[in-house]
Structure 1
């Protein structure tokens, strides 16, 4: 009996490295998107706008840090970059609360908000792990009318970030 256990253990030890190399690798454990005001991916998930894959995984718009696209450079979600798709602009005040819904928390460096390529707000979390929701009060300053906000969640211990675009109508 002892010989069988030893043989099984040796076979298992020999196969483990090969098996590990053939298994698919997982993505980062962090996922999230802005659900209020509804981001483009939130509008897809709610069926407000007809979309593809993003409908089923609005939290998955992940890409390298420093991008400026709504899709985070992910070709599967390229429709998020299409400004003519019929996105609904949410009426907001000049100072508005944005709420991230996080389906998995991850150490965070910063949260950034851009309009027209200009940063309008940044919040530094210094590597802290957020809760299931995160809110930020963002001031639009003198901006009014229809604006597309690019919100970026920069992860502290990876080279990636999560991206969300939100269409708003400021001051309406």
Structure 2
């Protein structure tokens, strides 16, 4: 009996440590898979040296209210979460890039491990001339999302898809920031996808 109680206490301690380390609850949530995000590339081994996000790509959660609130500049891709700071490292502009056609229709996809009542999914793109070798800031992004998919409090399915149009007039390397805003908590999930138009 004493051994079982000790094992349970150790298990609780590890869960608490995971919650502290990631800055949010230990359960998973979701991340962008199309266009493939930095989380997706880390989770499937396309990119290595990603730290905790390799095992928790779905947990990149931070304060909602972007762009007026939310993560600080330079920590947007990690949702302001120190445990996932590797996502903010631009790696000299050398993250794998998704090939996309500017202005084309696109099916955006997120993989979910916990479904939440949702306000919306919003997608931002970098301005022309942004520097992919620097951490992402608000000033790097176009001020308005090029796509916003309202959810009106509905919960997304395990594989969420949203139809939309990619931004017009873009060429070369850019970054798309996806923000999944949760309706019934103070948080949102952040996902950065490196792209080439």
Provide the TM-score with structure 2 as the length reference.
0.69
Q: Which of 130, 148, 151 is residue 125 of structure 1 equivalent to?
A: 151
Structure 1 partner of 2:89: 82
Q: Distance in 2 between matches of 1:124 and 1:29?
A: 24
Superposition map of 1:21-170 within 5 A: 24=16, 27=25, 31-50=29-48, 51-65=50-64, 66=66, 67=70, 69-84=76-91, 86-94=94-102, 95=104, 96-116=106-126, 117-118=141-142, 119-136=145-162, 137-170=164-197
How many angstroms does 1:30 deviate by?
6.2
| Bigger Cα Rg | 1
* Cα 1:29/1:77, change in 2 over 3 Å: closer
1:46 deviates by 1.0
Contact map agreement 1:109 1:125 (CA 8 A) in 2: yes
What is the deviation of 1:139? Answer: 2.0
Q: CA RMSD in A?
A: 2.0
Deviations 1:67-126 (A, max 9, x none): 361000000111101112631001112222221001110100011111122221111101
Higher share in strand: 1
Contact 2:28 2:56 in 1 (8 A): no
Worse overlay, 147-156 or 96-105: 96-105
TM-score, normalisation: structure 1: 0.79
